[in-house]
A and B are shown apart, each in its own frame.
Chain A
Amino acid sequence: MSALPQKFHDWFTSRGWSPRTHQLAILDHAKAGKSALLISPTGGGKTLAGFLPSLVELSQPHERNGIHTLYISPLKALAVDIARNLEAPVREMALPITIETRTGDTPHSKRKRQREHPPDILITTPEQVSLLIADAGAAHMLRHLKSVILDELHSLVTSKRGVLLSLALSRVQGFAPAARRIGLSATVADPEALQSWLAPVGQPPVPLVLGQAGAAPRIRILKSAENVPWSGHSSRYAIDEVYEEIDRAKMTLIFVNTRSQAEMAFQWLWEANEAHLPIALHHGSLDVGQRRKVEAAMAAGKLRAVVCTSTLDLGIDWGDVDLVIHMGAPKGSSRLLQRIGRSNHRLDSPSEALLVPSNRFEVLECEAALQAAKENTQDTEYPAVLKLDVLAQHILGRACAEPFDADEFFAEVTRAWTYRNLTREDFDAAVDYVATGGYALRSYEKYAKLKRRVDGLWRLTHPLIAQQYRLNMGTIVEAEMLKVRIASVKRRLGKRVVTGGRSLGELEEWFLSQLSIGDTFLFAGEVLRFEGLDEFGALATRAHGSDPMVPSYQGGKFPLSTYLATRVREILSSPAKWHTLPQQVQDWLSAQRRNSVVPQAHQMLAETFPRAEKHYLVCYPFEGRLAQQTLGMLLTRRLERWGAQPLGFSASEYALVIWTVRDLSLMISSGKLSLEKLFDEDMLGDDLEAWLAESNLMKRTFRNAAIIAGLIERRWPGKEKTGRQVTVNSDLIYDVLRSHQPGHILLRAAWDDAAEGLIDIHRLGFLLKRIKGQIVHRALDTVSPLAVPVLLEIARESIYGEAHDALLAEAAGALVNEAMGLV
Chain B
Amino acid sequence: MMPFSPKPLAPLSTRPWGLSKMHRISLNGLDLVPDLSGALFVPEFKTLLIADLHLEKASNMAKRGVHLPPYDTRASLIQLEAVITQARPEQLIFLGDSFHDDEARTRIADEDLVRLRAITESAATIWITGNHDPHPPTDIGGRIADKAVLGGVTLRHEPKQLGPDEFEIAGHLHPGGAVSQRGKRIHCKCFVGNTARLIMPAFGSFTGGLSISAMPFRGLFTEKDSHAWMLGQRAIFKFPARRVR
Residues of A within 8 A of B (CB): 436-437, 439, 441, 443-444, 447, 449, 462, 464-465, 468, 510, 513-514, 684-685, 688-689, 693-694, 711, 713, 727-729, 732-733, 735-744, 747-748, 751-752, 755, 761-762, 765, 798-799, 804-805, 807-812, 814, 817-818, 822-823
Contact = CB atoms under 8 A, between A and B. Distances in A.
B143 interface: no
Interface stretch (B120-128, B164-172, B183-191): B183-191
A808 B179 contact: yes
Contacts of B18: 823
B5 A728 contact: no
Contacts of A741: 69, 71
B67 A447 contact: yes
Nearest to A434: B67
Interface in B41-76: 57-59, 61-63, 65-72, 74-75
A443 B106 CA distance: 12
Interface stretch (B133-141, B152-160, B192-200, B231-239): B231-239
A736 B9 CA distance: 10
B22 A822 contact: yes
B12 A807 contact: no
B2 A735 contact: no
A597 B110 CA distance: 67
Contacts of B71: 439, 441, 736-737, 739-741
A447 B234 contact: no
A732 B57 CA distance: 13
Contacts of B92: none
A82 B186 CA distance: 46
A163 B15 CA distance: 36
B6 interface: yes
Contact of A436 (B4, B15, B67): B67
A740 B239 contact: no
Given A694-B233, A742-B8, A818-B235, A728 B67 contact: no
Given A736-B75, A804-B233, A812-B239, A449 B65 contact: yes
A111 B107 CA distance: 43
23 contacts: A439-B67, A441-B70, A441-B109, A444-B70, A464-B65, A465-B65, A513-B185, A514-B245, A688-B3, A689-B4, A728-B58, A728-B208, A736-B69, A740-B74, A740-B75, A742-B8, A744-B69, A752-B2, A804-B233, A805-B233, A808-B188, A811-B180, A823-B235
A462 B65 CA distance: 10
B190 to A, nearest CB: 11
A447 B62 contact: yes
A742 B7 contact: yes
Given A441-B109, A739-B8, A755-B1, A510 B188 contact: no
B115 interface: no
B57 A807 contact: no
Nearest to B19: A823
B93 interface: no
Contacts of B8: 738-739, 742
B183 A823 contact: no
B161 interface: no
Interface of B: 1-9, 12-15, 18-22, 36, 57-59, 61-63, 65-72, 74-75, 107, 109, 178-186, 188, 205-208, 230, 232-239, 243, 245
Contact of A807 (B2, B15, B184): B184
A interface, by DSSP: helix, strand, loop or mixed? helix
Contact of B182 (A688, A799, A809): A799
A554 to B, nearest CB: 12
Given A733-B69, A811-B179, 7 more contacts: A437-B62, A437-B68, A739-B12, A748-B6, A807-B184, A811-B181, A823-B21
Contacts of B59: 443-444, 447
A711 B68 contact: yes
Contact of B208 (A711, A729, A805): A729
Nearest to A740: B71
Nearest to B14: A735
B182 A798 contact: yes
A693 B15 CA distance: 12
B75 to A, nearest CB: 5
A742 B18 CA distance: 25
A684 B3 contact: yes
A468 B65 contact: yes
B68 A733 contact: yes
A482 to B, nearest CB: 15
Most buried by B among A437, A733, A735, A736: A736
Most buried by B among A447, A727, A751, A822: A447
Contacts of A685: 3-4
Contacts of A808: 179, 181, 186, 188, 230, 232, 235, 237
B22 A817 contact: yes
B236 A823 contact: yes
A751 to B, nearest CB: 6
Given A514-B185, A809-B237, A736 B206 contact: yes
